């Protein structure tokens, strides 16, 4: 149900505004207009707000040098090489060979095995097919003399090599295919299965001894590979740079974030705060398959680059909740004051703030901006007895229902020679302001405050890329 001035009433059930997708999701869906830059290239890109249709690119994609990742699995049992299943989610890999048991009465396959498979979710088998691969049967076996439950290798060998043994007597007299088969689910994955010194004995004589030292040696590997205990692989990585402003679906950056969970002390308490707007940089690291930082701290498929990585604390020295730590992770516009966490108070009134960007250099094409706060722009401390703000609000901050409108004066920005004529709000930066009551008006059907439609917003930010700098003015 629409609220005042066409804004949705988020307090009414079912009337909230949906949040936008991140820049990576839009890129994957083909919904993103973007500019491109290479690492080491000096390039100036003008970006429009990612959540508003305009003629400017919505994002900058920076191609970085490939990332080489070397992973240690184990030490081979013997020699320099071993067979390895790989380590990933949703694996379905095989190591297969033909075995002719025609006219034979007994057969056995043994191997040295090292394995680290997610218990009860990831499994490995020795399978045999007597119909040229149309169907496969898991063969009963043992590890270090103990029968394999459900004919499956699962769990961990605890970092040690052990002895696998499988009887193939049931297939004597047939021409068969035999394979190792490793499958994993889509969740957690471990280091996988390693095999060495594979031996096939038929009627008491060894017909195959393979230590992974002589190439494929008759095996067909589909996902398995020969490694030395470590392996290296190159992965693509990119910076994705976007301009996040409080417009369109990104208005939820200001009104949407929340934190709760004080069940024992304040079960009905919900904290509301605003995520800082500005230039947000993401690192797309294709060496990762998910963002589960609990399993790989500090690395993920697509994670924001925190412009303010130092842990945020309340004035009493206690750390803020993890949900709040990233609210200021972007690069702010020059001259914009970062919202600071507030403690022990509610601020649900409408409040406007005058924030003028000083024109510090003639080539920095910054005019101005108004930040109109619809809700509290600061996370609130759940314990009001922890003291006042570490950094109190600026003196002269406009009170409730006050706002300042910044009007650009493009013909008066600089005097000849680059000297500024007038100041901010009346004195030297080429920006003049006038006082008004209430929020800036909204143009009918436009969905954006008139001021934000009238003022061309520019941002200059330097993004470090492989020892070089990419300038991204918006």
- Is residue 108 situated within a structural domain? yes
Q: Are residues 164 and 212 in the same domain?
A: yes
With the CA atoms of 433, 370, 283 and 312 taken in that order, what torsion angle do they form, in degrees rounded to the nearest 10?
Answer: 100
Both 58 and 83 in a single domain? no
pLDDT tens sequence across 333-358? 665 555 555 443 333 222 222 222 22
Pick 405 or 98 by higher pLDDT. 98
Confidence check: pLDDT of 455 > 70: no
Residue 358 CB neighbours (<10 A): 17
Q: What is the CATH number of the domain that holds 192?
A: 2.60.120.260
DSSP one-letter code for 24: H
The highest-confidence range among 1-5, 197-201, 254-258, 332-336, by mean pLDDT, is 197-201
Q: Is residue 9 part of a domain?
A: no
Q: Are residues 205 and 140 located together in one domain of the fold? A: yes
User: Residue 373 is inside which H or E element, if any?
Assistant: strand 369-373
- CA–CA separation, 179 vs 111, rounded Å? 13
The reply to whether 277 and 394 lie within a common domain is yes
DSSP of 158-188? TT--EEEEEE-GGGTTSEEEEEEEEE--SS-
405/395 Cα distance (integer angstroms):
19
246 and 111 share one domain: no
pLDDT tens, residue by residue, 163-183: 999 999 999 999 999 999 999
383/219: higher pLDDT: 219
Tokens of 376: 């509290």
Domain termination residue (choose one: 168, 197, 227):
227
4 falls within a domain: no
| Model pLDDT, residue 337 | 58
Is the residue at 7 inside a domain? no
Looking at the fold, whether 77 and 60 belong to one and the same domain comes out as no
Q: Is the pTM of this model over 0.85?
A: no
- Per-residue pLDDT band at 266 (split at 50, 70, 90): confident
Boundaries of domain holding 216: 71-227
More confident residue, 315 or 158: 158
**% of the chain residues with pLDDT over 70:** 66
Same-domain pairing of 298 and 389:
yes
- DSSP per-residue codes, 55-113: SS-SEEEEEPPPEEEEEE----SSSS-EEE----TT-EEEEEEEEE-TT-S-EEEEEEE
The reply to whether 158 and 253 lie within a common domain is no
Percent of the chain with pLDDT over 90: 44
Tokens describing residue 8: 């949705």
Q: What pLDDT is recorded for position 380?
A: 45
pLDDT over 80 at 90, yes or no:
yes
Within 8 A by CB and 6+ apart from 346, the residues are: 376, 380
Task: Output the DSSP codes for 281-298.
Answer: EEEEETT-S---TTTSTT
Residues 307 and 390 in one domain: yes
Helices and strands (H and E) in the chain: how many: 3, 30
pLDDT of residue 172: 97
pLDDT confidence of residue 20: 75
Q: Which of 227, 250, 266 is the last residue of a domain?
A: 227
pLDDT recorded at residue 17: 66
Confirm whether 10 is domain-assigned: no
- C-alpha 110/C-alpha 103 separation (Å) is 21
Q: Clarify whether residues 55 and 111 are in a common domain.
A: no
Instruction: Decide: 261 and 382 in contact? Cβ < 8 Å.
Output: no
pLDDT band at 326 (very low <50, low <70, confident <90, very high): confident
Tell me the average pLDDT across 32-36: 92
Report which secondary-structure segment, H or E, holds 252.
Answer: helix 252-255
Domain count, the chain: 2
The winner for highest mean pLDDT among 243-247, 319-323, 443-447 is: 243-247
The answer on 246 and 205 residing in a single domain is no
């Amino acid at each position: 149900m629409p609220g005042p001035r066409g804004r949705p009433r988020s307090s009414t059930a079912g009337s909230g505004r949906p949040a936008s997708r991140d820049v990576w999701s839009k890129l994957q869906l083909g919904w993103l207009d973007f500019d491109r830059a290479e690492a080491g290239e000096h390039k100036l890109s003008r970006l429009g707000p990612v959540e508003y249709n305009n003629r400017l690119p919505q994002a900058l994609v920076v191609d970085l040098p490939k990332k080489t990742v070397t992973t240690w699995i184990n030490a081979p049992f013997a020699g320099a090489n071993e067979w390895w299943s790989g380590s990933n989610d949703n694996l379905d890999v095989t190591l297969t060979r033909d075995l002719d048991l025609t006219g034979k009465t007994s057969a056995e396959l043994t191997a040295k095995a090292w394995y680290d498979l997610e218990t009860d979710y990831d499994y490995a088998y020795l399978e045999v097919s007597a119909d040229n691969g149309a169907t496969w049967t898991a063969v009963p076996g043992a590890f270090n003399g103990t029968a394999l439950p459900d004919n499956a290798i699962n769990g961990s060998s605890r970092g040690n090599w052990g002895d696998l043994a499988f009887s193939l007597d049931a297939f004597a007299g047939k021409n068969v295919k035999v394979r190792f088969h490793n499958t994993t689910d889509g969740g957690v994955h471990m280091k996988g299965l390693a095999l060495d010194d594979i031996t096939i004995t038929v009627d008491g004589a060894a017909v195959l001894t393979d230590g992974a030292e002589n190439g494929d040696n008759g095996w067909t590997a589909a996902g398995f590979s020969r490694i030395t205990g470590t392996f290296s692989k190159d992965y693509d990585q990119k910076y994705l740079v976007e301009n996040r402003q409080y417009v369109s679906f990104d208005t939820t950056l200001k009104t949407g974030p929340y934190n709760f969970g004080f069940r024992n002390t304040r079960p009905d308490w919900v904290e509301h705060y605003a995520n800082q707007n500005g230039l947000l940089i993401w690192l797309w690291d294709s060496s990762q398959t998910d963002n589960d930082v609990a399993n790989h701290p500090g690395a993920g498929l697509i994670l924001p680059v925190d412009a303010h990585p130092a842990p945020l604390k309340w004035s009493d020295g206690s750390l803020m909740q993890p949900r709040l730590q990233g609210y200021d992770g972007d690069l702010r516009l020059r001259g914009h004051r970062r919202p600071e966490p507030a403690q022990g108070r509610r601020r649900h009134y409408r409040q406007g703030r005058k924030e003028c960007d000083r024109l510090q250099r003639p080539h920095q094409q910054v005019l101005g901006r108004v930040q109109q706060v619809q809700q509290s722009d600061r996370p609130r401390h759940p314990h009001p007895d922890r003291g006042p703000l570490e950094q109190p609000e600026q003196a002269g901050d406009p009170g409730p229902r006050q706002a300042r409108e910044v009007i650009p004066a493009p013909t008066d920005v600089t005097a000849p020679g680059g000297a500024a004529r007038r100041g901010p709000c009346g004195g030297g930066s080429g920006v003049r302001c006038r006082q008004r009551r209430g929020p800036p008006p909204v143009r009918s059907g436009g969905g954006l405050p008139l001021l934000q439609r009238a003022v061309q917003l520019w941002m200059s930010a330097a993004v470090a890329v492989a020892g070089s700098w990419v300038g991204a003015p918006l």
